[in-house]
Amino acid sequence: MIVEKNTAFYARLDRSAQKLDQLLLENLLQCVRSDSGKSEFSGGIGEQQFQSYLNREYAKMLAVRFNPGQEPAKND
């Protein structure tokens, strides 16, 4: 069996893995932040309505930065 280097395949696989990591982190953030904001200084109903968008953006940045399902990034 011959194994070829198919960079397009690995690029798609990497993007899919990053999306899966993002989904995992988004759900974790949702669970962690579900009880926050219950004080008198919270953002109220507006914060509650837009919290999912903020969680999604945080998860996107975290998935790119930390690569939870991959080897640690090498800083050259």
Write out pLDDT tens, residues 23-72: 999 999 888 877 665 667 677 777 778 888 988 999 988 888 876 666 65
**Global confidence as pTM:** 0.64
Confidence check: pLDDT of 75 > 80? no
Domain boundaries, position 52 = 43-67
Would you say residue 15 lies in a domain? Answer: no
3-state SS string over 14-65? HHHHHHHHHHHHHHHHHHHCCCCCCCCCCCHHHHHHHHHHHHHHHHHHHHHH
Would you say residue 5 lies in a domain? Answer: no
Would you say residue 55 lies in a domain? Answer: yes
Confidence of residue 16 (pLDDT cuts 50, 70, 90): confident
Would you say residue 49 lies in a domain? Answer: yes
Would you say residue 53 lies in a domain? Answer: yes
Would you say residue 7 lies in a domain? Answer: no
Would you say residue 47 lies in a domain? Answer: yes
Would you say residue 35 lies in a domain? Answer: no
